[in-house]
Structure 1
């Protein structure tokens, strides 16, 4: 995957390590940047901001971005004085930050990405053979209701027909996800799962959280220790380590495919009910808002966002056209995929807290 360039600083901040990416300083960039914008971003966007082409495109518009990564939900605990923007991975933590720092609405939302499950072919074929997934060549659909039933029953791989052919498919069947108390993808996983478990009702009260809490706790505690970012879990999967089923952002898969990496064994499963990750800018200064709006509207930056696997807001055609060569892996139009509404940040926090125990 594209190397994150210019890693110059690692600081421990309230519950999470934040890594600074001083974009362009080690790339011989000779752009005309006149404004330095400090940003704290979700880790899944670090490679975007570290891409020399992005650095150059921003420089021609008059910006140098110094970005530090953090779990999206962990941003609430950071002191953002001196920063120009926060860039979490979905609307709920963005709304929390906007309220805290009195950021002017509307908030720029340059791009988004749905949650998907990456699987090795053997695991995907076993799920399909047991009614938990529908499978095409390199992509398919995870049947969320069937999967949640299996999770509620603590079903193991050994109980699934055909799993005995694969030595790595042992133990309890589960999706590996990130820590929902600090990471956006982990929280969105609970949002989608609770919506399905409640029969298509979004959690809006303590009583709603109570009804699905035992199952949400199973989904999380079966995993043991969880990573705080999808970047780490996706890298583990690509290297062949970790769980055979991993919840990641579609953008990470699309970026990998765009680099023409060897992915013959990869199957991308789209949960039939999932949640979109709306990457939302929380401007803390005028420069931060100007940069957020630039990311949303500039054609060159939108094209670079697609290269990194993100879906630009407002134009599905850009993503479809750019990923045409990888249509056998990607559900470009999200056909047959239902978007689960996401609870308020207060409800989602409580859901995550209960799930973690």
Structure 2
């Protein structure tokens, strides 16, 4: 089961161990893999590269992938000597890595995933009853402006009508996210919320940062200690632990729904009306790294395997829509009605994260 593999990887990560994922031929295998590509990847792609079907597809094209996981924003401090590629979860850290290592070519972006919020049914219904969300069966829309207004006012669940029926809905209303200083999803959460807080404008200057910093601090400080991996926070949510609202990648939900051994339980998927798409971007450091990055985006079998893991291949709306048709009560086949916020520069995001973390 892919989720079982993900849980094992998450345990290793939480224990401070760099988890290695090997995709390709075992020594005793007589497959066709001839080139070993060593990569550092965002942890949300670990299950993809560990999938036996992906291993087989890569081996058929002549590749063995040895991947180690890292927070996407932590890769900037990673020594990539001896690696063939880095594969962070968005374009901004990828651009910084390309600059650091003198990579001039266009960077391959094989697939992407929007950030969404998962909620337990009770929480989602209370949000909808108080004008913070709309619901349609197992999915809905989170109204980001209304949510940020609630955050500014330190609004609690107890202040929302209908929440008194549910003992688990207590304390300050907030969305759990990952550490914005090391994790891609945490950093992109600040990118999206700062854009909404700035009135639909990209935060670009020190003055812009100064204006939105108090709210960013509220959004992060209320969470206390943060995880470094979206897999960890999503696993806690599925197990029934932790906060009733959690920021995750859509791909994680799709992978869960695709796994017959897992149940979504009372999960509701809320698409923020303003969010950010996480473009998984390959930074090639060798020719083999470049070739593999292109292969992930062009090989039809690998593209369909990416869809099975919940990723949306670039320029492949129909592929994802077809695969998502049987889980359409949870996932949007098309991202209509969802505004994509631009992402600040790496320097601005780092400053937002520093200010948010205090």
What interval of TM-score do these two structures reach, taking the shorter chain for normalisation?
over 0.9
- Contact 1:4 1:50 (C-alpha < 8 Å) held by counterparts: no
SS of match in other structure, 1:220? helix
C-alpha contact (below 8 Å) 2:120/2:266 kept by paired residues: yes
Segments of 5+ residues of structure 2 without an aligned counterpart are none
- Aligned residues: CA RMSD: 2.2
Contact 1:88 1:94 in 2 (8 A): yes
Name stretches of at least 5 consecutive residues in structure 1 with no aligned partner: none
How far apart, CA to CA, are the structure 2 residues paired with 1:259 and 1:7? Answer: 14
Q: Deviations over 1:220-251 (max 9, x none)?
A: 01000000010110111111111000000000
Q: Displacement of 1:50 after TM fit? A: 0.2
Q: 2:89 is matched with which residue?
A: 89
- What number of residue pairs does the alignment pair up? 355
Q: Who is 2:307 aligned against?
A: 306
Give, in angstroms, the shift of residue 19 of structure 1. Answer: 1.1
- Work out whether residues 24 and 63 of structure 2, in 8 Å CA contact, stay in contact via their aligned partners in 1: no
**Shift of the alpha carbon at 1:9?**
11
Q: Structure 1 residues 311 and 137, CA, compared in 2 at 3 Å: closer, same or farther? A: same
2:104 paired with 1:104: yes
CA deviation string 1:258-312 (max 9, x = no partner): 1143224110000000000000000010000000000010000000000000000
Matches for 1:14-93 after TM superposition, within 5 Å: 17-24=17-24, 30-93=30-93
Indicate the residue corresponding to 1:140 in structure 2. Answer: 140
1:28 deviates by: 7.5
Assess if the C-alpha contact under 8 Å between 1:5 and 1:26 holds in 2.
no
Residue 197 (structure 2) aligns with:
197
Alpha-carbon distance between aligned partners in 2 of 1:29 and 1:337, rounded to the nearest angstrom: 46
Partner of 2:225: 225
Cα separation, partners in 2 of 1:98 and 1:328, compared to 1, 3 Å: same
Q: Within the alignment, does 1:326 sit opposite 2:333 as a pair?
A: no
**TM-score (ref. length: structure 1):** 0.95
Shift of 1:8: 11
* CA offsets 1:110-148 (integer angstroms, 9 cap, x no match): 000000000110000000000000011000000000000
Runs of 4+ more than 4 Å apart = 3-10, 24-30
Check the 8 A contact 2:188/2:343 in 1, yes or no.
Answer: yes
Does the aligned pair in 2 maintain the 1:120–1:266 contact within 8 Å?
A: yes
Paired residues of 1:7 and 1:22 also in contact (CA < 8 A): no
Structure 1: how far apart are the matches of 2:282 and 2:342?
A: 20
2:102 & 2:7 partners in 1: Cα distance? 31
Which aligned pairs between 1:90-239 and structure 2 lie closer than 5 A? 90-239=90-239
Return the alpha-carbon distance in structure 1 between the equivalents of residues 25 and 243 of structure 2: 37
